[in-house]
Chain A
Amino acid sequence: DAGVTQSPTHLIKTRGQQVTLRCSPKSGHDTVSWYQQALGQGPQFIFQYYEEEERQRGNFPDRFSGHQFPNYSSELNVNALLLGDSALYLCASSAGGSPYEQYFGPGTRLTVT
């Protein structure tokens, strides 16, 4: 049973560019959440998708957007990249839209130069 997978593993982009990160949830999970973790900090909640809708959103600007597909996989898009967007982006999945334990992927390390 595959766990949560994310792609790509690493990414280097230039300021002003746009980036798309991808996440496939654990089998049987239908809820996907995205987190941003800056170096030395804890993960910060970006948003959560359930039934293809954004259900909750953290304190992130509109440059951060997402999508959930019918197969429950998800994408995180960041437009007009800033140096401060450099971070580890983590995807987590859970079942039934519930607040129970979430399974995290290995993350995508984004570096903006």
Chain B
Amino acid sequence: SQQGEEDPQALSIQEGENATMNCSYKTSINNLQWYRQNSGRGLVHLILIRSNEREKHSGRLRVTLDTSKKSSSLLITASRAADTASYFCAPTDSWGKLQFGAGTQVVVTP
């Protein structure tokens, strides 16, 4: 299975600090996506990185991908209380099937 597996399971930081979470997967992918979910509701797409890309930025987000190690990381810089959420990585196959892991719960305290 190419299901993503996030680490750590939970992360607690203060506003202004950076948050880093990692994702590992098992098989080849077309791309890897990161999503955020607030309070068990709908998922919000954050960023997509293709298998031939190594790094991508979007605002305060930085994603890396190492296909040789089958791993990815998501960095949120200068975190805010509004960043409190669950974050999921989703390795994606050529048909667009997302294989989510259990996620990382991030709590940002003021």
A68 within 8 A of B: no
CB distance from A40 to the nearest CB of B (A): 8
CA distance A42 to B100 in the complex (A): 6
Contact A99 to B41, CB < 8 A, known contacts A33-B98, A42-B100, A43-B100: no
The interface residues of chain A lying within 8 Å CB-to-CB of B43 are 43, 90, 92, 104
Inter-subunit contact A97/B103 (CB<8 Å): no
Say yes or no: is A107 at the interface (Cβ < 8 Å to chain B).
Answer: yes
Residues of B within 8 A of A4 (CB): 42
Contact B95 A42 (CB under 8 A): no
CB contact under 8 A between A33 and B97, given known A42-B103, A99-B30, A101-B33: yes
From known contacts A42-B101, A101-B48, infer whether A48 and B42 are also in contact, taking CB-CB under 8 Å: no
Complex contact B96–A48 (CB within 8 A) = yes
- Using CB atoms and an 8 Å cutoff, list the residues of chain A in contact with chain B: 4, 31, 33, 35, 37, 39-45, 48, 55-56, 58, 88, 90, 92, 94, 97-107
